[in-house]
Structure 1
């Protein structure tokens, strides 16, 4: 199905539905959800006051002497635009823009950015840095300044760009480090001349290249000129040509395409993604490197693995799988179909085919600090695991599956084969998916298992437990901020991420029916989203709570509750984060009209509910929620029936 198949012209006036069933005792999840919005509204202000300057930049007195670090500045605010789009405070969006512009000026002064964009770094980190920018564009596509930036940034990757990032002849980016300076040779001063054994934070990942003469173990780096030799090999072999993580650049181009569907942008996305698909098809495996001649394995003795941020070093499927998903989903957004998801399946199937059961719990696994909290395992336990990395000696670094990747694969395409993959991952996991573990990592993800169990109907109290957990995380982060001492953040680029009090994973799941955005460069997709009709802005209106109770390939069920006893609230429900789905019909229950009843009666009347329905044939509908009313909407849908597009809120005027 293309983006236009099945699309029906929008109705001249949207369908209007009024909730009439009395809420009665408000559901605990609804009260907790509105409490979470309130707490977040106070928490982000606390962070801003504590860690930022008047011009929006972060308080930082150090210097950056390498290419690394720019992403850490933006990551401090990565989900702030997302919170605004969900229904955060009115002034959160201008605050997010203010901080983005302040940080961008700051990074320009520090030498990492030029023309408001990364001069040249890997896309594992650039994808992280751009989440904030993508969120602002989605939250306010009427802002011409950010629209101009989106187009300018994307055009750096088109054929003929002055940057020279892209080689159309081989359909590849010319270097792993790329950006506004074009393809930057090598990996920067940190590693080009020397890769030493004293790097404690890098030691767990092992040697970047495992075939450098004289360097077989990490300790070998301490002898003779081995560290310098490793650095030279890294510069010449890891620091040129294309690498799989560059697929995340497709999202940057799609973000610009969402404004006006420029065919140049669409053509590049499909061309670049298809080039990687063809390489993978030819090899029967997802490669991670392409030389400047266009040949896979050119700098790795013909091996399809070993590229920068690829299968061998440092993260394996964590980086390759994320980039393949971002690239495949970006292409799917442009063409409206799911055919190119084969690119994302490839790396996940590769590690799945090597799965193991009952492995000893590895306390030295490279990503253990993240997944150990997510799965709730303790020392001495065995785990069912997948290898995450591949080197000349075979697969290694076994860890539990990163469920988010299989979730996104299924969620975007809603294909039966991907649902089967996800169910197999659950069956093999070896741990209970209904448990809500209290943790928050830098990606603010990892609670996909209990959410999926809820959608499957066997974890009914997940919304309440997850919201309580989210509230506790906000409280913990604000306590960390309060306990922080002045000046302690000056040299620690990760401090801001660790205390960012904004949490959006649970709100995204419950209100929009989507997983948390892919952290290494994904766009902010949702099954449904909302606009406040009275405030003419994105997000749920005040007092309104939303819970997506079910979704599948043809329908979505959402429960809307107005917890206010005095205020009527009106919203637009949009099908898809970018209006890409078609609502064919809506079904709901209405009240019997006898509420509130007679004041002489002391009991709380419930009344009967009467089923109702209406054809829609549009990608949106309007809902009015009088005080103390609720409605459960069952929406029949055709997914990806309309073009993905940036949507402004109704009655919003475009600004200069």
Structure 2
């Protein structure tokens, strides 16, 4: 079937954002190699000789590489994908030797942290689904939850059986580090009491009594049983397996498990509870209370953790089942906390996550803002702070519904920082720049691409400087160190190239609104010299600009409507010129532009090939439609060489 005709225009001016985008690719290629040289052994493991005193730590060894496969999928080198696989294998051996993994999977921990480590694995599977080693792992890992014989899932009660689950099945309690929960754990004080209803323990200071510390620790061990809301992130493990072959049992497990939580929420007035006793009753271990479970509404984070689990579960159910109704789990909780919002400054509000917000906001922390309660306990809603913007952003991005956009705009309007500011910060999730990006998509922040790419280049430079100045001792290095210096930055590239927010860090799948392939090399991502910019996402409309910076080489780009094939391209409008002359005569001061023209063509296919002559651009308006095929992991193949006719058609 012949490809639809796509118009291009010569670039009489080279856009700054395109130059910066390609420069960022180049800088990252240098930086990741230096990271591996400084901090990794030849077999791929991290240089660390310290111990693992408790269940925590597995995620911290995978997280430094979480976005390396993502960079490859955007257009980074084949070498970084090979390196990412190499480091996954090396870290897996390292953690297995340390007794933290069994059969390559975590022995057992909460899904807030499991999700953090598994986003690296999901990205590897998506980047190269033809690698049977990772396909086999995807099937084996998912079976830990879909196979009742493994003990992690109770089909009779439709529940995951404990807050800490994994390769060894459900684990008891919260681990040895909290056999007693002592007041001297200063880093935990900001989160308050893990359990609020123990006799004689009303304040943090009460934990200074050793008897109270023992009582709290033992209660935490005893009550860390049954299902909890953050376990919804386990649906990504099963959805990742489903993407290989559409396994019906995997799809059914996701839908059934998410539906179980939807039923519990419906029985609770629409608000998702955070705990289910081993007998299947909500609040069965908490005297009937719907709140108070492990990593739930009361402790330690509330909205960021419960919201992340509910949103991931809802997105995955919508993804495999084709029905967005499961997103109501997130809609209700966001609307509920918004209904209880206050106006105050972050600086004057004693929120548990205050330190991170103060560092991020700077002087804006003193400005009035819309603060929502993050947690719910015995006295109602508490712990007020800005709403984590990733939650309403991903909700709208998934649904593209006007109501979800309206809610998102309300949250954006309540932020203390200006929507056009691009603050020079980066945390381990490499997120937090949603506000200016969304304003750009709304047509209100036209300078965002160049400013954001400049910021991202600055972050690479800072990480490189840190790597050259900090040389930690492998015996005493903090296990978060490598996350703090990981120089691969993909948040801004993902936003601008694919039109997608940064991945949900506690276990989201690596979705993309647009995906690309190098048509001539048969590999994912943009071809060399090519830059891309998504400037609008509005329902089924996506505005895209492609730029070929190569002065002598033609590049062919495959543009796909979604990464996994859940969307197709219905039609494409391209913009060009007629009657102009390019390059024209050498005696002219400039070439003569023609009259602008637009042409709309039917595509009716998953993808479109755009041929870009040297120093040309293509401006496209794409219309998407739900695919009739089930989503799948897929990797591109090289297309036949371009014909002379196709080269001529691509010129003005």
The question of a shared fold, defined as TM-score above 0.5 by the shorter chain, is answered with yes
Aligned to 2:556: 570
> Compared with structure 1, are the counterparts of its residues 381 and 549 closer, same or farther at alpha carbon in structure 2 (3 Å cutoff)?
closer
Distance in 1 (CA, whole Å) between partners of 2:154 and 2:400 is: 34
1:328-365 deviation per Cα after TM superposition (whole angstroms, max 9, x unaligned): 00111101231211112122122111101135624642
Distance in 2 (CA, whole Å) between partners of 1:67 and 1:196 is: 18
Matched, 1:256 2:241: yes
Aligned to 2:615: 628
1:474-503 deviation per Cα after TM superposition (whole angstroms, max 9, x unaligned): 000110000012526743000001111111
1:441-489 deviation per Cα after TM superposition (whole angstroms, max 9, x unaligned): 1111111110010000010000010000000000001100000125267
Distance in 1 (CA, whole Å) between partners of 2:451 and 2:366 is: 28
Maintained 8 Å contact 2:364/2:417: no
Aligned to 2:263: 278
Aligned to 1:182: 169
Maintained 8 Å contact 1:480/1:499: yes
The Cα shift of 1:603 comes to: 2.2
Greater share of residues in helix: 2
1:392-434 deviation per Cα after TM superposition (whole angstroms, max 9, x unaligned): 1111110011111101001101112211211221233344211
Distance in 2 (CA, whole Å) between partners of 1:452 and 1:273 is: 29
1:489-537 deviation per Cα after TM superposition (whole angstroms, max 9, x unaligned): 7430000011111110000000000100100000011110101111211
* One of 452, 471, 480 as aligned partner of 1:485: 471
Distance in 1 (CA, whole Å) between partners of 2:304 and 2:613 is: 46
Maintained 8 Å contact 2:582/2:591: no
> Compared with structure 1, are the counterparts of its residues 381 and 590 closer, same or farther at alpha carbon in structure 2 (3 Å cutoff)?
closer
Matched, 1:495 2:464: no
Aligned to 2:40: 52
The Cα shift of 1:600 comes to: 2.1
Aligned to 2:645: none
Using the TM superposition, name which of 576-585 and 65-74 deviates more: 576-585
Distance in 1 (CA, whole Å) between partners of 2:35 and 2:557 is: 30
Matched, 1:389 2:375: yes
Aligned to 1:146: 134
Distance in 1 (CA, whole Å) between partners of 2:475 and 2:387 is: 33
Distance in 2 (CA, whole Å) between partners of 1:336 and 1:451 is: 28
Aligned to 1:552: 538
SS of residue matched to 2:414: helix
Aligned to 1:172: 159
The Cα shift of 1:374 comes to: 4.5
Distance in 1 (CA, whole Å) between partners of 2:58 and 2:370 is: 36
Maintained 8 Å contact 2:164/2:174: yes
Aligned to 2:280: 294
1:159-203 deviation per Cα after TM superposition (whole angstroms, max 9, x unaligned): 43x311000111101100001100111111111x21111112111
The Cα shift of 1:651 comes to: 3.9
Give the root-mean-square deviation of aligned CA atoms. Answer: 1.6
Distance in 2 (CA, whole Å) between partners of 1:163 and 1:64 is: 25
SS of residue matched to 1:623: strand
The Cα shift of 1:252 comes to: 0.6
> Compared with structure 1, are the counterparts of its residues 630 and 240 closer, same or farther at alpha carbon in structure 2 (3 Å cutoff)?
same
> Compared with structure 1, are the counterparts of its residues 332 and 125 closer, same or farther at alpha carbon in structure 2 (3 Å cutoff)?
same
Distance in 2 (CA, whole Å) between partners of 1:651 and 1:265 is: 31
Aligned to 1:408: 394
Pairs within 5 Å for 1:424-463: 424-463=410-449
Distance in 2 (CA, whole Å) between partners of 1:148 and 1:640 is: 27
The Cα shift of 1:612 comes to: 1.8
Maintained 8 Å contact 2:428/2:484: yes
Distance in 2 (CA, whole Å) between partners of 1:112 and 1:310 is: 25
Distance in 2 (CA, whole Å) between partners of 1:591 and 1:119 is: 61
Aligned to 2:186: 200
Distance in 2 (CA, whole Å) between partners of 1:182 and 1:346 is: 32
Aligned to 1:39: 27
Distance in 2 (CA, whole Å) between partners of 1:512 and 1:99 is: 26
Unaligned runs of at least 5 residues, structure 2: 640-652
SS of residue matched to 1:601: coil
Distance in 1 (CA, whole Å) between partners of 2:7 and 2:90 is: 43
Matched, 1:68 2:53: no
